């Protein structure tokens, strides 16, 4: 339970309306007494909900000012401030520790406050930074480096060999050994049932604050720049470089060896076969520049 005034103080802004007690978050479509909600856009339907339910705290845009009587905080980005507030005041605390069923290899370096879930397998010479959470059934292969405050969701595999072959004179595929590592920065999230392959000779590298959704494949030698978001079922082929602050929409595919600049947006289901300059939006199959 927290006072609305304390939430306003946390957000470094002004509370308008009564200083009520807040006990939980809720959606604007299911408003309940003593809850906190948000409205990132103005609509008459949302306005009606807020007018009807005066015992809540709403994070809203300026369009709602003067039209609602419930406790409210005006925000330039209500959804962002809602996320920050929920994480600070209402997210359940995680109890750090290593599950008894987890298997750890030799020379594993584990920082403070790390959580390793049930039936995880951590290889030799792995390094895991402070505050990182590794959920259940995760496999992390030898030499992987994971930074601070990361989240690896269940059944993900990090650091196993990638898919690389060269045919001999009889057209038999001969595996190219993969001797590199996976290096993951700080505050990275990797979703469930995803794979991040180790590099062939150089490392596969995931920058700070990168967020990777469920069912994503990151191949060998990929470089992902900081703050990039890669959403569900994306496939990033080997030796691809993705610049900072980019967004890959669901089910897109990036051809091997392709470079994407910074602030690139790859559309839903797009197939990228050519380099993309910074600041471009690409869509379609094959992907073309939309703007």
List the structure tokens of 36: 């906190």
One DSSP character per residue, 17-28 reads S---EE-EE--G
For the stretch 166-173, contacts whose Cβ atoms lie closer than 8 Å and that sit 24 or more positions apart, written own/partner, are none
* 3-state SS assignment for residue 257: coil
Instruction: Centre a 10 Å sphere on the Cβ of residue 79 and count the other Cβ atoms it contains.
Output: 13
CA distance 240 to 254: 7
CA distance 112 to 122: 17
With tokens 């869509």, the residue in question is 283
Identify the H or E element spanning 97: strand 97-98
CA distance 205 to 198: 9
Q: CB–CB of 112/129 below 8 Å?
A: no
Active site residues: 220
Q: CB–CB of 258/266 below 8 Å?
A: no
Q: Which residues contact 103 (CB under 8 A, 6 or more apart)?
A: 120, 121, 122
Instruction: Centre a 10 Å sphere on the Cβ of residue 3 and count the other Cβ atoms it contains.
Output: 15
* 3-state SS assignment for residue 82: helix
């Amino acid at each position: 339970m927290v006072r609305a005034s304390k939430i306003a103080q946390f957000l470094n802004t002004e509370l308008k309306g009564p200083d009520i007690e807040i006990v939980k978050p809720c959606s604007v479509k299911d408003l309940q007494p003593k809850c906190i909600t948000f409205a990132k856009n103005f609509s008459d339907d949302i306005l009606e909900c807020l007018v009807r339910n005066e015992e809540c705290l709403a994070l809203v845009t300026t369009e709602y000012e003067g039209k609602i009587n419930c406790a409210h905080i005006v925000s330039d980005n209500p959804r962002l401030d809602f996320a920050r507030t929920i994480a600070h005041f209402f997210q359940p605390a995680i109890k750090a520790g290593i599950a008894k069923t987890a298997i750890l290899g030799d020379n594993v370096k584990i920082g403070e406050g790390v959580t390793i879930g049930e039936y995880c397998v951590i290889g030799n010479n792995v390094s895991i930074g402070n505050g990182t959470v590794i959920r259940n059934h995760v496999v992390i292969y030898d030499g992987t480096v994971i930074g601070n405050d990361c989240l690896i969701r269940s059944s993900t595999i990090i650091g196993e060999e990638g898919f690389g072959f060269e045919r001999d004179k009889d057209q038999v595929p001969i595996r190219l050994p993969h001797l590199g590592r996976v290096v993951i920065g700080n505050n990275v999230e990797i979703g469930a049932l995803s794979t991040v392959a180790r590099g062939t000779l150089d490392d596969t590298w995931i920058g700070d604050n990168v967020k990777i959704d469920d069912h994503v494949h990151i191949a060998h030698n990929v470089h992902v720049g900081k703050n990039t978001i890669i959403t569900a079922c994306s496939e990033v082929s080997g030796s691809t470089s993705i610049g900072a602050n980019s967004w890959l929409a669901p089910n897109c595919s990036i051809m091997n060896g392709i470079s994407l600049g910074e602030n690139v947006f790859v559309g839903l289901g797009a197939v990228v076969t050519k380099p993309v300059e910074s600041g471009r939006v690409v869509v379609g199959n094959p992907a073309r520049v939309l703007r």
